[in-house]
Protein backbone atom coordinates (compact mmCIF):
# COMPACT_ATOMS: atom_id res chain seq x y z
CA UNK A 1 0.00 0.00 0.00
CA UNK A 2 2.83 2.41 0.86
CA UNK A 3 4.66 1.65 -2.39
CA UNK A 4 1.60 2.30 -4.57
CA UNK A 5 0.84 5.53 -2.70
CA UNK A 6 4.43 6.72 -3.17
CA UNK A 7 4.42 5.86 -6.89
CA UNK A 8 1.09 7.69 -7.34
CA UNK A 9 2.39 10.68 -5.31
CA UNK A 10 -0.54 10.52 -2.87
CA UNK A 11 -0.94 9.79 0.83
CA UNK A 12 -1.86 6.38 2.20
CA UNK A 13 -5.14 7.87 3.44
CA UNK A 14 -6.06 9.00 -0.07
CA UNK A 15 -5.16 5.56 -1.41
CA UNK A 16 -7.47 4.01 1.19
CA UNK A 17 -10.26 6.32 -0.01
CA UNK A 18 -9.58 5.21 -3.60
CA UNK A 19 -9.79 1.56 -2.55
CA UNK A 20 -13.16 2.23 -0.88
CA UNK A 21 -14.42 3.94 -4.05
CA UNK A 22 -14.92 7.34 -2.44
CA UNK A 23 -16.60 9.54 -5.09
CA UNK A 24 -15.05 12.68 -3.55
CA UNK A 25 -11.60 11.62 -4.77
CA UNK A 26 -10.72 13.36 -8.03
CA UNK A 27 -10.46 11.48 -11.29
CA UNK A 28 -6.81 12.47 -11.57
CA UNK A 29 -6.02 10.60 -8.36
CA UNK A 30 -7.72 7.48 -9.71
CA UNK A 31 -5.70 7.80 -12.93
CA UNK A 32 -2.46 8.19 -10.95
CA UNK A 33 -3.20 5.05 -8.95
CA UNK A 34 -4.05 3.11 -12.11
CA UNK A 35 -0.78 4.24 -13.66
CA UNK A 36 1.15 3.25 -10.51
CA UNK A 37 -0.44 -0.21 -10.69
CA UNK A 38 0.48 -0.53 -14.38
CA UNK A 39 -3.13 -0.65 -15.54
CA UNK A 40 -2.64 2.27 -17.94
CA UNK A 41 0.37 3.77 -19.69
CA UNK A 42 1.63 7.30 -19.29
CA UNK A 43 -1.26 9.75 -19.07
CA UNK A 44 0.30 12.08 -21.61
CA UNK A 45 -0.28 9.45 -24.29
CA UNK A 46 -4.03 9.54 -23.72
CA UNK A 47 -4.42 13.08 -25.00
CA UNK A 48 -1.48 13.44 -27.33
CA UNK A 49 -3.48 13.51 -30.58
CA UNK A 50 -6.89 14.72 -29.42
CA UNK A 51 -7.97 16.75 -32.44
CA UNK A 52 -11.56 17.09 -31.20
CA UNK A 53 -10.33 18.48 -27.87
CA UNK A 54 -8.00 20.90 -29.65
CA UNK A 55 -10.86 22.13 -31.83
CA UNK A 56 -13.06 22.70 -28.76
CA UNK A 57 -10.30 24.67 -27.04
CA UNK A 58 -9.83 26.87 -30.11
CA UNK A 59 -13.59 27.58 -30.22
CA UNK A 60 -13.52 28.69 -26.57
CA UNK A 61 -10.71 31.19 -27.09
CA UNK A 62 -11.91 34.77 -26.71
CA UNK A 63 -12.56 36.62 -29.92
CA UNK A 64 -10.91 40.00 -30.31
CA UNK A 65 -13.61 42.59 -30.57
CA UNK A 66 -12.90 46.15 -31.61
CA UNK A 67 -15.43 48.72 -30.58
CA UNK A 68 -16.42 51.37 -33.06
CA UNK A 69 -15.46 54.89 -32.09
CA UNK A 70 -18.53 57.04 -31.88
CA UNK A 71 -18.16 60.51 -33.35
CA UNK A 72 -17.60 63.03 -30.58
CA UNK A 73 -16.93 60.36 -27.95
CA UNK A 74 -14.16 61.17 -25.47
CA UNK A 75 -11.51 58.53 -24.73
CA UNK A 76 -8.47 58.20 -22.49
CA UNK A 77 -6.30 58.39 -25.62
CA UNK A 78 -7.78 61.81 -26.37
CA UNK A 79 -6.87 62.91 -22.85
CA UNK A 80 -3.28 61.73 -23.33
CA UNK A 81 -3.02 63.64 -26.62
CA UNK A 82 -4.33 66.85 -25.09
CA UNK A 83 -1.86 66.53 -22.19
CA UNK A 84 1.03 66.10 -24.65
CA UNK A 85 -0.09 69.16 -26.60
CA UNK A 86 -0.33 71.26 -23.44
CA UNK A 87 3.15 70.14 -22.36
CA UNK A 88 4.61 71.06 -25.75
CA UNK A 89 3.01 74.52 -25.67
CA UNK A 90 4.76 75.36 -22.38
pLDDT at 11: 95
For the cut 70, the answer to whether the pLDDT of residue 18 exceeds it is: yes
Integer Rg of the chain from CA:
28
33 closest CA partner among 52, 11, 48: 11
pLDDT of residue 89: 57
Does this model's pTM top 0.85? My answer is no
The mean predicted confidence, pLDDT, of the chain is 80
- Asked whether the beta carbons of 1 and 12 are under 8 A apart, the reply is yes
pLDDT for 3 beyond 90: yes
* Residue 68: pLDDT over 70: yes
Task: Pick the closest to residue 1 from 17, 21, 15 (CA basis).
Answer: 15
Predicted pLDDT at 78: 59
Separation between Cα atoms, residue 4 and residue 59, nearest integer Å: 39
Amino acid sequence: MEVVAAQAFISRGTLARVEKGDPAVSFGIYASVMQALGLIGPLSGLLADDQAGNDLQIERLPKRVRTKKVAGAYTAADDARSTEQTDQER
